Structure 1
Amino acid sequence: MKNLLFLLIVVFMVSCTSNTKDFKSQESTKPNVLFIAVDDLNNWISPIQNFSNVKTPNFDRLAKMGVTFTNAHVQAPLCGPSRASIMTGLRPSTTGIYGMTPDNKIRRPGNLATKDITFLPEYFEQNGYHTMGIGKLFHIHAPDSVFNESGGRVKGFGPYPKKRFVWDGFGKGIRGTHGRTSTDWGAFPAKDSLMPDHQSVNWVAERLDKEYDKPFFMGLGFLRVHVPLYVPQKWFDLYPLENIQTPPYKSDDLNDIPPVGMQINDLPMMPSTEWAKESGEWKKIVQAYLACISYVDYELGRVLDALESSKYSDNTVIVLWSDHGYRLGEKGTFAKHALWETATKAPLMFAGPNLPKGKKIEAPVEMLSIYPTLLELSGLPAYQRNEGYSLVDMMQQDKGLADAKAITTFGMNNHAIKMDKYRYIQYEDGKEEFYDHHSDPNEWNNEAGNPKYKAQIKKMKGFLPKVNSKWDASSNYTFQPYFVEQKKRVNANK
């Protein structure tokens, strides 16, 4: 009996040890996640549009490593609500976060949608990951204690020269009404090492050289290509002015835009296209934007080099995304702030184990899908609160391409839907825009009243959000009078 008891104990201990090893083995096979945000980056990069022969070898490099979505759309054409949507997994129309919201107030008791939401990095921490982050990831950096290890974020979008080069940030805007922007362009500072993004990449590279007893989630938020369009001279030198292309522009393009659309597009603090043409600055602004893209591409290359030389190169999922597009003269201005294609479309790229290499997908998708996609790629359970859907089946098996669509919201009850090669916009007063990209890729002709498209418009209207929450009390956008007035008006009856 004693021998039998001893044998049973030994078998039990071996079994427990084996189970423990299996568990640790399973933990160690979970992929790491490298989560890269680029501020204000439109689709001009070479893997997508290759606008004006832009030089982005490292975006090309990442594209060859995985999947590039050439038709990805943000859930808000403004950094604050766009990033809040990605990090919560909820639509702006669900949360009422339509404007800028302090990081620590995205989740607060007064917001029923977000008060107990789990942010994307937190979900990874809850599932056994060590989380790290630096730079602009949420609107500023991140809510307190979201990351196990935070590198913070340099304030503002500098470095700044003592005097602006061209644009004062006010333009024709009314001081105290429109606010001052960082909009300006020119060669500054003298070297890359003075750029905050360079220091952020140094921080990431140092951590990729360390050992961890858990899989990690690493967030890196680049400040460029956000204005001011300042980078060292060598990046400007890549783009001689005589070779610069300017985007398509039609001076009477806005004649068929509904009143709310015109109010949203009222941006006197930004340069107008007509001013840029008359002053001779248009090509210089485009040159500066391209220079900033190439600078970010260089920093991206440093990240990819650090990853590839680390022990984590074969087991890391990479996602790169931008918080919205950016207009460089299209529809009369230089800004995001719109429900049109050039403001809502932005790069989205995935790479990692079990994903195709060098694949491009043209179907419209949402940045809202980043959260559930990363969970599935990491083998984590789905988070039931996510309003987006995973893109894994689309990337691996081309599933869902025919039914793909993307919804963007700007302010309460103003929505755009991209589906097939059509864009439908409905404003809060019911006024509409409709564009057929087969024949009108620049969205110059509003076909909302054309009987030819009646069935397509009806179909797309069916996808408008059913919930349109009032503005969250902590969310504001004071640069445009329309949003100040809308929040005051719609929240008055709370």
Structure 2
Amino acid sequence: MRFSWNEILYDHGKWGAKLYPLFAYADGTGRVAGVSPAWEMGTDSRGNSLPDDAYPDGQMALAAIEKLREFAEEGTRFCLALGFFKPHLPFNAPKAYWDLYNPATLPPPSPLTKPVGANSATTTNSGEIAAYSQASDRAKLRHAYFACVSYLDAQIGKVRAELDALGLADNTIVVVWGDHGWCLDDYGLMGKHKLLERSLEAPLIIRPPANLRPAAFAGIRSCLPRSRRRCRPTYARGG
């Protein structure tokens, strides 16, 4: 979308190839179908956690912070879009975020079985997960996914904290939006390509400035019916 913005911040850095940051491993490689693991616990040679910027999302947060400081110094209005990658496959995150969770106490998948009468065409395992090795250990994948969500949360938190520190928060609308959910053994399935609640759930969080409060909650579900009503055809129906 190079014509949609006046400046593109992201530098592919050590990952080079266009899609590698989406499938990034800490050593600078990207996914190799059927070979690359579905998860990575980011550690250094001594087993210590890698820093957040060992992965693209951590670098993106730092770039955003630098840009916010420029905006604050110049006193200019801005629209800043950050396309964080996690928790997209592969589920890679620094060890510190894995350590936040005890695998034995993670919430179990729910529900455990497919809905009765569900169309089998929409309740199959996603082929996406099959492009990775080490994908059969579903407990490990759940742990990795939780780690990635917390890693992403920390990056958003850094940017949000910088808005406060620069005095920009009271004049900025912050929107956090995801594109889909993920079945982590829920319904006995793994992946996103299915018409089930866990796959279709997507976050939409809107934080308005303190002096701008909405009269009612608006989420994806409450927005879509209104959009659909506006798109109803005005031509006559029937023969």
The aligned amino acid for 2:66 is E
Query: Aligned residue for 1:236?
Result: 98
Inter-partner Cα distance in structure 1 for 2:38 and 2:140:
11
Q: Does 1:208 pair with 2:68? A: yes
Query: Aligned residue for 1:160?
Result: 25
Cα deviation 1:90-119 (Å, max 9, x = unaligned): xxxxxxxxxxxxxxxxxxxxxxxxxxxxxx
Go from structure 1 to structure 2 and tell me whether the alpha carbon gap of 1:188 and 1:159 turns closer, same or farther (over 3 Å shift): farther
**What secondary structure does 2:65 align onto?**
helix
1:233, distance to aligned residue in structure 2 (A): 1.1
- Between structures 1 and 2, the one with greater strand share: 1
Correspondences of 1:43-54 after superposition (within 5 Å): none
Correspondences of 1:15-30 after superposition (within 5 Å): none
Go from structure 1 to structure 2 and tell me whether the alpha carbon gap of 1:267 and 1:183 turns closer, same or farther (over 3 Å shift): farther
Query: Aligned residue for 1:433?
Result: none
Inter-partner Cα distance in structure 2 for 1:267 and 1:242:
25
Query: Aligned residue for 1:365?
Result: 222
Q: Does 1:217 pair with 2:76? A: no
**What secondary structure does 1:218 align onto?**
coil
Q: Does 1:267 pair with 2:132? A: no
RMSD value, Cα: 3.5
The aligned amino acid for 2:165 is S
Go from structure 1 to structure 2 and tell me whether the alpha carbon gap of 1:220 and 1:283 turns closer, same or farther (over 3 Å shift): same
TM-score norm. by structure 1 comes to: 0.37
| Equivalent position to 1:256, from 117, 141, 157 | 117
TM-score norm. by structure 2 comes to: 0.73
1:168, distance to aligned residue in structure 2 (A): 8.2
**Is 1:327–1:342's contact at 8 Å kept on the other side of the alignment?**
yes
Inter-partner Cα distance in structure 1 for 2:116 and 2:129:
20
**Is 1:158–1:195's contact at 8 Å kept on the other side of the alignment?**
no
| Equivalent position to 1:195, from 55, 58, 61 | 55
Inter-partner Cα distance in structure 2 for 1:223 and 1:145:
21
Q: Does 1:148 pair with 2:3? A: no
Q: Does 1:303 pair with 2:159? A: yes
Structure whose alpha-carbon radius of gyration is higher: 1
The aligned amino acid for 1:343 is S
Query: Aligned residue for 2:47?
Result: none
1:269, distance to aligned residue in structure 2 (A): 4.7
Cα deviation 1:406-436 (Å, max 9, x = unaligned): x8xxxxxxxxxxxxxxxxxxxxxxxxxxxxx
**What secondary structure does 1:331 align onto?**
helix
Correspondences of 1:331-342 after superposition (within 5 Å): 331-342=187-198
Go from structure 1 to structure 2 and tell me whether the alpha carbon gap of 1:225 and 1:267 turns closer, same or farther (over 3 Å shift): closer
Q: Does 1:348 pair with 2:207? A: no
1:214, distance to aligned residue in structure 2 (A): 4.0
Inter-partner Cα distance in structure 1 for 2:170 and 2:150:
26
Q: How many residue pairs end up in the alignment?
A: 210
**Is 1:246–1:282's contact at 8 Å kept on the other side of the alignment?**
no
Inter-partner Cα distance in structure 1 for 2:74 and 2:40:
42
The aligned amino acid for 1:291 is A
**Is 1:322–1:347's contact at 8 Å kept on the other side of the alignment?**
yes
Inter-partner Cα distance in structure 2 for 1:301 and 1:225:
16
Go from structure 1 to structure 2 and tell me whether the alpha carbon gap of 1:266 and 1:240 turns closer, same or farther (over 3 Å shift): closer
**What secondary structure does 1:350 align onto?**
strand
Go from structure 1 to structure 2 and tell me whether the alpha carbon gap of 1:304 and 1:250 turns closer, same or farther (over 3 Å shift): closer
Inter-partner Cα distance in structure 1 for 2:186 and 2:80:
35
Q: Does 1:284 pair with 2:135? A: no
Inter-partner Cα distance in structure 2 for 1:205 and 1:350:
20
Inter-partner Cα distance in structure 2 for 1:196 and 1:222:
8
Cα deviation 1:313-333 (Å, max 9, x = unaligned): 221111111011111112332
**Is 1:168–1:184's contact at 8 Å kept on the other side of the alignment?**
no
Go from structure 1 to structure 2 and tell me whether the alpha carbon gap of 1:294 and 1:214 turns closer, same or farther (over 3 Å shift): same
| Equivalent position to 2:88, from 226, 235, 239 | 226
Q: Does 1:186 pair with 2:40? A: yes
1:362, distance to aligned residue in structure 2 (A): 8.0
Q: Percent identity?
A: 27
Inter-partner Cα distance in structure 1 for 2:125 and 2:105:
31
**Is 1:270–1:333's contact at 8 Å kept on the other side of the alignment?**
no
Correspondences of 1:57-206 after superposition (within 5 Å): 143-152=1-10, 154=12, 155-156=19-20, 157-160=22-25, 170=34, 184-189=38-43, 190-206=50-66
